[in-house]
């Protein structure tokens, strides 16, 4: 039974306790790919926020109309529609960012986070609760990406959002901007999160 | 010659998992045992090639022709989802033995970024039909290579004394990072 | 039966709705996307051929393009877009040549995925300056010293393969461009209406 859903709780769970990236390990493809700079990460965060929130609203609204067998297919069509909108919007108004993010914006459609939230939450709760869940998860996603991209950009390039901040202090570790650095940074970050959670 | 470049690039130089970050979910989850890793890799390679080719056809023969390129994402994902369903039904009917070994991975493959990724990249790079085939097979084999090596390493890690916070995901990613570093050695292989 | 019917209706409806929404949304974005692409091309062309006012597409292929660039009523030069294998992946460059193909005005790197801090430095101004006013003959890469002759390009330290790739791409592009131009000139000897 639904009972009373605490909006605050639905919102905050995505931030830390059930952080989609750092705890549930979902949506790793874009996380690793676009965190080579904070700017790219912000673009991805915006796109995911848009897609997740709109999809959750849509799925929550039509949940009673969709037969069980085709619910996944229907959710995917809904998600794909919003992803296309986000992708076309970026290509039109932020062409440089769109080029930098490349195929990873269209790949949001197979991001486990989005489909996961539709299946696990939006299809079983009202619109307002679904929005709280979506926004919370998006913010949690955002926090994870900001952490990872900041680490990678500062250590790997000596800059943050393109602004040089460690001039002369140390030579940047080029590897952090490369794929290898993404894996290493994520591994350390995930381990640190687990350590603090279990203390 | 160009086919060789495309194939080697997808397999080693720009390995799908270690350079493009596609197919991470199964990479982290399934790669515990060598034999299941190899089976998964083969299943993925097969579906990837099929999906890439069909998506290529849909894009170049239908979408472009009617100016419907904006339907790329929706049509590709629907094609992939349907394809996986069909392949699963086909394998179940044709060879129950094969279904036992491979079949269980198939539902996982639908949301595998690697499958959609191959289709999207082939279109992005404007590959011809033949180039798409070479590219997708190379990508699938590259995925298989990465996942098999990872499984081998993880089998060893299971016996090692890993500090508690690092166990599972943490050490897997760090290992993947080192693996990615070694694959960087393949750069400059084809030029 | 009723279940199957409902399934088909729901699926068809969602597909149609999706298509309709996207077609509608695409109207607004498509124009801008094309505009962006053209603006980017214009910017690059004006950087590699000084004085550009307008241009014509002579050849447009996946890995090669040739543009005829005008400054007012006279031909300012030609721009060649060429692609080749770099160290990591493909490198795409655009360079401008004088109308008589005697020299290269300048070069710009349109797309590259080389190693940051090493091969990726081919996009930096100090490297591109080395491409200003070069002789459009066979270009040669020199390592460890500055370029003295007008057909020499200095390699980036630690990025020999990338540097060599750029030179090779330009050389091949020049050969192809000359061939295409002789075709074009041969074909419409009755005077171009372009």
Domain boundaries, chain A: 7-149
Per DSSP bridges, beta strands A163-164 and C134-135 are unpaired
For the cut 90, the answer to whether the pLDDT of residue C126 exceeds it is: yes
Strand spans (E) along chain C: 54-60, 64-71, 74-85, 90-97, 103-111, 134-135, 140-142, 152-154
- Percentages of chain C per state (helix, strand, coil), in multiples of 5: 45, 25, 30
Q: Which helix (H) or strand (E) holds A157?
A: helix A127-157
In angstroms, how far is CA C188 from the centroid of its own chain? 25
- How high is the ipTM of this complex? 0.87
Which value, in Å, is the radius of gyration of the alpha carbons in chain A? Answer: 18
pLDDT, mean of residues A156-171? 84
Cross-chain residue pair C165–B191, CB shorter than 8 Å? yes
Average pLDDT score, chain C: 90
Per-residue pLDDT of chain B (191 residues; tens, 9 = 90+): 789 999 999 999 999 999 999 988 777 766 567 877 888 888 889 999 999 999 999 999 999 999 899 999 999 998 898 888 888 888 788 878 777 766 666 677 766 788 999 999 999 999 999 999 999 999 999 999 998 999 889 888 888 889 988 988 889 999 999 999 999 888 877 76
**Chains linked to B by 3 or more Cβ pairs within 8 Å:** A, C
Q: Assign A179 a pLDDT band (cuts: 50, 70, 90).
A: very high
Q: Give the domain ranges of chain B.
A: 34-183
Question: Which position has the higher pLDDT, A141 or B88?
Answer: A141
CB C7 within 8 A of CB C15: no
- The long-range contacts involving B32-36, CB below 8 angstroms and separated by at least 24 positions, are B32/B151, B32/B154, B32/B155, B32/B158, B33/B151, B33/B155, B34/B148, B34/B151, B34/B152, B34/B155, B36/B151
In chain A, which residues have their Cβ closer than 8 Å to the Cβ of B86?
A: none
| Residue range C129-145, pLDDT digits in tens | 999 999 998 999 999 89
State pTM to two decimals.
Answer: 0.90
Chain C CB contacts of B13 under 8 Å are 88-89
Average pLDDT of chain A, as a whole number: 89
Q: How far apart are CA B68 and CA A105, in angstroms?
A: 19
Contacts of A26 in chain B (CB under 8 A): 25
Closest by CA position to A72, among listed A115, A120, A15, A21: A115
| Chain B residue whose CA is closest to A195 | B165
pLDDT in tens, C85-107: 998 889 999 999 999 999 999 99
Cβ distance of B170 and A179 shorter than 8 Å: no
Q: Which residue reads 């390592």 in tokens?
A: C143
Contacts of B126 in chain C (CB under 8 A): 62
B12-41 burial string, b = 16+ CB within 10 Å, else e? bbbbbbbbbbbbbbbbbebbeebebbebbb
Contact state of C18 with B74 under an 8 Å Cβ cutoff: yes
CB–CB of B131/B4 below 8 Å? no
| Å between C162 CA and nearest CA of chain A | 17
pLDDT at A186 over 90: yes
Asked if the model's pLDDT at residue C1 lies above 70, the reply is no
Which chains would you list as touching A if contact means 3+ CB atom pairs under 8 Å? B, C
Hey, how many other C-beta atoms are within 10 angstroms of the C-beta on A197? 13
The full set of domain ranges for chain C reads 47-187
Residue B110 and residue B80: Cα distance in Å, rounded?
7
Interface test with A, best of B22, B113, B118, B167 (most A CBs within 10 A): B113
- Across the interface, of C6, C11, C29, the residue whose CB is closest to A88 is C29
CA C47/CA C55 separation, integer angstroms: 13
Using an 8 Å CB-CB cutoff, list chain A residues near B164: 194-195, 198
Q: Nearest Cα to C19, choosing from B42, B63, A152, A197?
A: B63
Cβ contacts (< 8 Å) between C117 and chain B: which residues?
A: none
Cβ separation B70–C23 shorter than 8 A: yes
A33 vs B74: CB contact, 8 Å cut-off?
A: no
What sign has the CA pseudo-torsion B16, B22, C82, C140? negative
> Tens digit of pLDDT for each residue in B66-96?
989 999 999 999 889 888 888 888 878 887 8
Sign, CA torsion B173/B174/B177/B179: negative
pLDDT surpassing 80 at residue A90? yes
């Amino acid at each position: 039974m639904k009972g009373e859903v605490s909006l605050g709780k639905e919102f905050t769970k995505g931030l830390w306790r059930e952080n989609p990236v750092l705890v549930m390990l979902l949506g790793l493809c874009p996380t690793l790919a676009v965190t080579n700079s904070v700017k790219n990460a912000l673009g991805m965060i915006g796109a995911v926020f848009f897609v997740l929130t709109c999809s959750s609203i849509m799925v929550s609204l039509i949940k009673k109309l969709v037969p069980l067998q085709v619910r996944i297919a229907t959710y995917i069509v809904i998600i794909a529609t919003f992803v296309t909108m986000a992708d076309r919007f970026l290509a039109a108004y932020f062409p440089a960012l769109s080029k930098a993010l490349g195929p990873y914006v269209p790949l949001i459609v197979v991001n486990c986070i989005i489909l996961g939230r539709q299946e696990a939450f939006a299809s079983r709760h009202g619109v307002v609760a679904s929005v709280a869940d979506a926004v919370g998860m998006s913010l949690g996603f955002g926090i994870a990406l900001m952490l990872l991209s900041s680490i990678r950009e500062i250590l790997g390039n000596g800059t943050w959002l393109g602004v040089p901040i460690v001039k002369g202090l140390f030579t940047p570790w080029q590897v952090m901007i490369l794929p290898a650095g993404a894996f290493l940074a994520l591994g350390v970050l995930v381990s640190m999160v687990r350590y603090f959670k279990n203390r | 010659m160009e086919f060789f470049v495309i194939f080697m690039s997808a397999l080693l130089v720009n390995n799908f998992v270690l350079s493009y970050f596609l197919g991470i979910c199964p990479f982290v989850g399934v790669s515990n045992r060598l034999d299941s890793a190899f089976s998964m890799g083969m299943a993925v390679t097969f579906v990837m090639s099929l999906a890439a080719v069909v998506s290529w056809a849909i894009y170049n023969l239908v979408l472009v022709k009617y100016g419907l390129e904006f339907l790329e994402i929706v049509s590709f994902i629907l094609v992939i989802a349907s394809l996986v369903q069909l392949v699963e039904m086909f394998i179940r009917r044709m060879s129950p033995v094969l279904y036992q070994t491979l079949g269980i991975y198939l539902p996982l493959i639908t949301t595998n970024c690697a499958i959609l990724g191959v289709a999207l990249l082939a279109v992005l790079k404007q590959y011809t039909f033949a180039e798409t085939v070479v590219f997708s097979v190379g990508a699938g084999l590259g995925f298989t290579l990465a996942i098999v090596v990872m499984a081998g390493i993880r089998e060893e890690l299971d016996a090692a004394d890993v500090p508690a916070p690092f166990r599972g995901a943490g050490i897997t990613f760090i290992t993947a990072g080192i693996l990615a570093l070694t694959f960087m050695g393949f750069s400059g292989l084809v030029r | 039966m009723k279940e199957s019917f409902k399934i088909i209706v729901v699926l068809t409806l969602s597909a149609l709705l999706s298509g309709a929404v996207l077609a509608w949304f695409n109207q607004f974005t498509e124009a801008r996307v094309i505009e962006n692409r053209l603006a980017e091309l214009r910017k690059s062309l004006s950087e590699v051929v000084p004085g550009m006012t307008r241009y014509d597409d002579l050849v447009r292929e996946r890995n090669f393009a040739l543009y005829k660039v005008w400054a007012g009523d006279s031909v300012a030069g030609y721009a060649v877009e060429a692609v080749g294998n770099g160290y990591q992946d493909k490198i795409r460059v655009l360079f401008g040549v004088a109308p008589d193909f005697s020299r290269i005005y300048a070069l710009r790197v349109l797309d590259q995925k080389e190693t940051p801090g090493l091969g990726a430095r081919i996009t930096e101004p100090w490297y591109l300056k080395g491409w200003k006013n070069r002789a459009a003959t066979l270009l040669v890469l020199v390592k460890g010293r500055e370029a003295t002759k007008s057909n020499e390009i200095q390699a980036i330290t630690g990025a020999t393969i990338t540097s060599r790739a750029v030179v090779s791409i330009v050389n091949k592009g020049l050969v192809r461009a000359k061939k295409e131009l002789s075709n074009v000139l041969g074909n419409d000897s009755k005077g171009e209406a372009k």
